[in-house]
Amino acid sequence: MYKVFVNDIPIIISTQKDLGEKYTNYRLKTVRLKKVIKKILNGDLLYVNLYHKNEKKLLKLLLRKMKVVTAAGGLVVNSKEEILFIYRNHRWDLPKGKTEKNESIESSAIREVEEETGVKDLQIKRFITKTYHVFKRNGKLRLKETHWYEMYTEYEGELVPELSEGIKKAKWKNFEKSQKALQKSYANIKMLFPEKFLAGKSKNWVA
């Protein structure tokens, strides 16, 4: 199963033909995805399930439906076990950005985190997951596939938010402040953290 977020509303991509009464179900292979997204944006749909019987084909079929923009970013932790957040568009987010032509996903993840926050000496510890969300570029709908990595740094210098990208703040946040930030974040960002962390029952940020 996958989730594609339209704002904070998830479109479910699954092998189940029916997810219950409140869901509107469409065949993934034949659905007009942009039409469904416009209905969600207009407030006419809230619960959507796109299904196909073959689980291995779900992602392949999804990525055929819209122009895909590949991006990468990081959940960055320092020696104090603080997490690096950015503040943009009135929400707390994690640094990420578009992968450039002929650039590896890991390289773009490090570059984007450095550019958006000013942090240095990043080490990738592991791949976390991929998230999917819909956005508009030049008035056209696009699907963003973001590759997320857990990163570590001992950098203690000044953080410099990339103002040209609309980033107002770049901040290290401890456990308590991270929880507050995630309450004012995006649904796909919350997916990077385990439920116990989000509920304040564990300080372990590793999903």
- Encode pLDDT of 85-129 as tens digits: 999 999 999 999 999 999 999 999 999 999 999 999 999 999 999
Kindly report, residue by residue over 182-206, the tens digit of the pLDDT.
Answer: 999 999 999 999 888 888 888 887 7
- Going by C-alpha positions, the residue among 3, 36, 47, 14 that lies closest to residue 186 is 3
What lies within 8 Å, CB to CB, of 65 at 6+ separation is 31, 33, 34, 143
User: What's the average model confidence in pLDDT over 55-71?
Assistant: 95
Distance CA 62, CA 3 (A): 11
Distance CA 145, CA 23 (A): 24
In the chain, where the domains are located: 2-63, 68-198
How confident is residue 58, by pLDDT bands cut at 50, 70 and 90? very high
The whole-chain average pLDDT of the chain stands at: 95
Kindly report, residue by residue over 12-55, the tens digit of the pLDDT.
Answer: 999 999 999 999 999 999 999 999 999 999 999 999 999 999 99
Which amino acid type is present at position 33?
A: L
pLDDT of 66 above 70: yes
**What is the CATH number that goes with domain 68-198?**
3.90.79.10
Write down the pLDDT at residue 207: 67
Which amino acid type is present at position 190?
A: K
Write down the pLDDT at residue 206: 75
Kindly report, residue by residue over 128-144, the tens digit of the pLDDT.
Answer: 999 999 998 888 999 99
Which amino acid type is present at position 199?
A: A
Write down the pLDDT at residue 79: 95
Write down the pLDDT at residue 202: 82
Write out the H or E segment, with its range, that includes residue 112.
helix 105-117
What sign for the dihedral angle of Cα 188, 192, 194, 199? negative
C-alpha distances in Å from residue 162, one per residue of 88, 117, 184: 10, 6, 20
